[in-house]
Structure 1
Amino acid sequence: MRHNTVLRAAAAGIAALLTATACSTQRGEEDAATSADGACKGQQTTGITDKAIKLGGIYPMSGPASAYGTISKGIGAYFKYINAEKGGIDGRKVEFVVRDDGYQPPKAVEEARRLVEREKVFAVFQTLGTPSTAAVWDYLNQQKVPQPFVATGASVWGTDTKHPWTMGWQPSYVSESRVYANYLKENKPKAKVAVLFQNDDFGKDLLGGFKQAIKGSKVKVTAEESYEVTDPSVSAQMSNLARSKADVLLNITTPKFGSQALAADAKNTKWNPLHIVNNVSASTSVLKPVGFKNVQGVVSATYFKDPADPQWADDGEMKIYRRAMKKYAPDTDPSIQFNAYGWAVASSLHKALDAMKCPTREGLRDAIQKLKDVKVDMLLPGVTLTTGPKDRFPIETMQLTRFKGERWALFGEPLDTRKRFGPVTD
């Protein structure tokens, strides 16, 4: 997979921003840290006590990817619910500090340093986006600060072995691409695919995985158009793709551009491809501005329960989620999938914190690498968390979904891409 461009740029930014003083801060704290458990002595306890745990998160609350910012509302509601109604996590009340990077890697570095050096967080839980996460993981790993369950599916978070303090959560973009490739091979075996993709490691990762997964079949990529996250629109790219006359459009975009591509497809009545939109732009908040009548039949894939799907109306976890969102995040819509994503990933971190052998940063680092079929109630049935020394991809199962009426409807069976395609490798 091609990750070098973003990683080189991130390294350059970090070199300009980090200082020797920052690099030594946590080493001193690590030396001073002690624990009642002898096996935990010498490990870092910054940000955690017997009564409290402080977590930080970095999101694009502003800028071109601000639609993702509401994920923090779902996470915040989960922790407020746990604090108020469950006594915290193992008796510790959770403080969740959210910082805005505007989807700008240099700003992400600044905010990561603020969280570690000023806020003294236990872990930086969730940095959103491949560019921002790549910009900060060297720093966080140097400081030995856990960076669990980053909000990006780039396969590098699972294939890299030099950053043990960082791990992804959602299915990798390679795994997601395999689900779409498998669907086309079985249902449109001679498909001609036009691709719109974001010109960074996110877009290239999913596109590269798709091309690899269709090798040996008659499914072909016949047209490609990329865009920059700073572009005002993708109208020109969509016009070019329409001229390809492909019968499938693979839409690999972030929300702003996802809406634009869906709208452009709807307006072009002379081109009617099967439209596949990647999971990160599949929220109803992305589709609604286009008009639900204009996105009928669009296909995507998912791994967590859609709060807008009536099949989960009587689901125990969904009931708790809806009640908690109304009480602890009354300014946001619980039906938005990004909020449910936040709830699911916060619940996943809760499981990892419960599994720590030591209440330390090292304890969390080790716990997220030793998950075994962990059930998280907001995930789809059959989707669990599993990691190990040779498997750093917690979720690799997804199910196809099609937009029908005013919501997504699951179809087919969950696909375990580990079993179907083998491990994701670099």
Structure 2
Amino acid sequence: MRQGIFRFAGAAALAVTLSATSAQAQKKYDPGASDTEIKVGQTVPFSGPASAYASIGKTQAAYFNMINEQGGINGRKIKLIQYDDAYSPPKAVEQVRKLVEDDEVLLTFQIIGTPSNAAVQKYLNAKKVPQLFAATGATKFTDPKNFPWTMGYNPNYFTEGRIYGQYILKEHPSAKIGVLYQNDDLGKDYLNGIKAGLGDKASMIVAEASYEVSDPTIDSQLLKIKSAGADLLFSAATPKQAAQAIKKLHELDWHPVHIVDINATSVGAVLQPAGLEASKGVISVNYGKDPLDPQWKDDPGMKRYFEFMAKYYPDGDKNSNFNTYGYGNAELLVTILKMCGDNLTRENVMKQAASLKDVVGDLSLPGMKINTSPTDYRVNKQLQMMKFNGERWELFGPILEDKGAAG
């Protein structure tokens, strides 16, 4: 009888061992992931010329705090590690190496800015570490053939520029166009995009003027464009320079049709510093709901966003589109990590990110859905035109979807 008991106990122990082994076999982890934690790393310009973007990183940290308070993702807490890169490429390289080699993050998320992302792209791809939802729309960040570990989040700058070119042809066919652009991949993609949109009418561009991020002002560039006789200005700029451009136009009493790119549409960080009256009539595009737009007052997604801001980021400006932006991509990362289940490898993170099907976020504009594939890494391919009325942005026109090549 005693021998039978030992046999039973042995069999039970073996069954438990096999069960544990089987359960363990179903879980796959790369550095940065475990039964209890998922380490995510990012660099943010908390200081420097693009520090207006700092609130994006603060919103994302607050969003992950909310998720962790709700129990995390499949029982795992997100540990977000953030470093300041001051919008400096050499600093970004130093900090991203630290994230990968010292902190051993599973992935990088929403590194902010075209220059910083460009500086670390080859390194992260060589290390096979996801450069997920890079906060840039430059074409090189949606190129799965050459950079399979990089996926940009922002609408493709070339595509956005092409949409502006097409809009100008339709609404301002006799315009004399001046282009102010940042002298990097961001500005050059926009410049090439608007030329592509204009097609054989690209000669409508009468002046081009570039600036460096470190330039204290862009006055001389604007004076050059004005003297060329431009009556339509396209500012392919980041917040500081876009605000300077709007303000300078007002000071000069110069009133061209003014288009600014999507990066420079924050009311709090761009239009208010430039002057709301001076900003009246500025044109751009969007793919998300604007908290200032009264049509979303009773929208369930907007209500969730406002509740989140009130509880988890009360010091943040709930009306800032930088904060709605941070909320939207943090929400999308959580969706992807949930899709990963217990297979938290870097390869599976990219696989899931490239398999999004009709995803609708809390702040997606009606009719807009996120779809990705292994050959199309563009997250946001749908846009709608909008104009600033002196208080808030007003959407107009149909949803514009880009189905063509990224660049």
TM-score normalised to the size of structure 1? 0.87
Quick check: 218-227 or 291-300, which moved more?
A: 218-227
Query: Given the alignment of the two structures, is residue 140 of structure 1 paired with residue 106 of structure 2, yes or no?
Result: no
Q: Does residue 279 of structure 1 match 2:262?
A: yes
CA drift of 1:216 comes to 3.0
Is it true that 1:82 corresponds to 2:58 in the alignment? no
In structure 2, the partner of 1:73 is 58
- Deviating more after overlay: 226-235 vs 382-391: 382-391
Equivalent-residue separation in structure 2 for 1:35 and 1:170 (angstroms): 41
Q: CA deviation at 1:389?
A: 2.7
Counterpart CA distance in 2 for 1:154 and 1:119 is: 28
Tell me: CA distance 1:205–1:218, structure 2 relative to 1, closer, same or farther (3 Å).
Answer: closer
| Matched position secondary structure for 1:206 | helix
- Structure 1 distance, partners of 2:393, 2:375, is 34
Distance 1:178 1:36, change over 3 A: farther
- Which residue pairs with 2:214 in the alignment? 230
Q: What are the Cα deviations for residues 253-289 of structure 1, in whole angstroms up to 9, with x where unaligned?
A: 11111111011111122x3110001110111121101
Q: Is the 8 A contact 1:189 1:217 kept in 2?
A: no
Does the 8 Å contact 1:40/1:360 carry over to 2?
no
Q: Give the aligned partner of residue 336 of structure 2.
A: 352
- Could you tell me how far apart the structure 1 residues matched to 2:171 and 2:301 are? 34
Aligned 1:102-121 pairs, distance under 5 A: 102-121=86-105
Q: 1:283 to 1:219 in 2, by over 3 A?
A: farther
1:192 aligns with 176
CA distance 1:264–1:228, shift in 2 (3 Å): same
What does the per-residue CA deviation read over 1:363-409, in whole Å, with 9 as the maximum and x for residues that have no partner? 10111112222222222122222111321211111111100131111
Aligned to 1:258: 242
Q: What aligned pairs does 1:366-405 form with structure 2 within 5 A after superposition?
A: 366-405=351-390
How many Å separate the matches in 2 of 1:36 and 1:182?
55
Using the TM superposition, give the Cα deviation of residue 38 of structure 1 relative to its aligned residue in structure 2, in angstroms: 5.1
Change (3 A) 1:218 1:121: closer
Residue 49 (str. 1) matches residue 34 (str. 2): yes
Residue 218 of structure 1 deviates from its aligned partner by 7.3
Q: Counterpart in 2 of 1:299?
A: 283
Question: 1:9 corresponds to which residue?
Answer: none
Equivalent pair of 1:108/1:135 in contact (CA under 8 Å): yes
Alpha-carbon distance in structure 1 between the residues aligned to 2:401 and 2:314: 36
AA aligned opposite 1:242:
K
Change (3 A) 1:218 1:108: closer
- Residue 333 of structure 2 aligns to a residue whose secondary structure is helix
- TM-score scaled by structure 2? 0.90
Contact 2:48-2:87 within 8 A present in 1 as well: yes
1:128 is aligned to 112
Larger radius of gyration: 2
Structure 2 stretches lacking a partner, 5+ long: 1-20
Q: Distance in 1 between matches of 2:98 and 2:320?
A: 30
Structure 1 residue runs of 4 or more that deviate by more than 4 Å after TM superposition: 34-41
Tell me how far apart the structure 1 counterparts of residues 275 and 372 of structure 2 sit (CA, whole Å). 40
Partner Cα distance (1:261, 1:308) in 2: 23
Matched with 1:211 is 195
* Matching residue's letter, 1:302: N
Q: Secondary structure at the match of 1:224?
A: strand
Instruction: Provide closer, same or farther for how the CA distance between residues 159 and 404 of structure 1 changes in structure 2, counting only shifts above 3 A.
Output: same
Deviation string for 1:205-252 (max 9, x for gaps)?
111011011103477111111111111100111111111222210011
Q: 2:405 corresponds to which residue?
A: 423
Question: Deviation of residue 355 (structure 1)?
Answer: 2.0
1:100 and 2:79 correspond: no
Alpha-carbon displacement from aligned partner over 1:140-181 (angstroms, at most 9, x marks no partner): 122221111000000111135232111011210011112212
Q: 2:60 aligns to what SS in structure 1?
A: helix
Letter in 2 for 1:64: P
Local SS of the residue matching 2:200: coil
Give the corresponding residue for 2:350: 365
Whole-Å separation in 1 of the counterparts to 2:378 and 2:161: 15
Kindly state the Cα deviation for residue 35 of structure 1 after the two structures are TM-superposed.
Answer: 9.1
**Aligned AA for 2:212?**
E
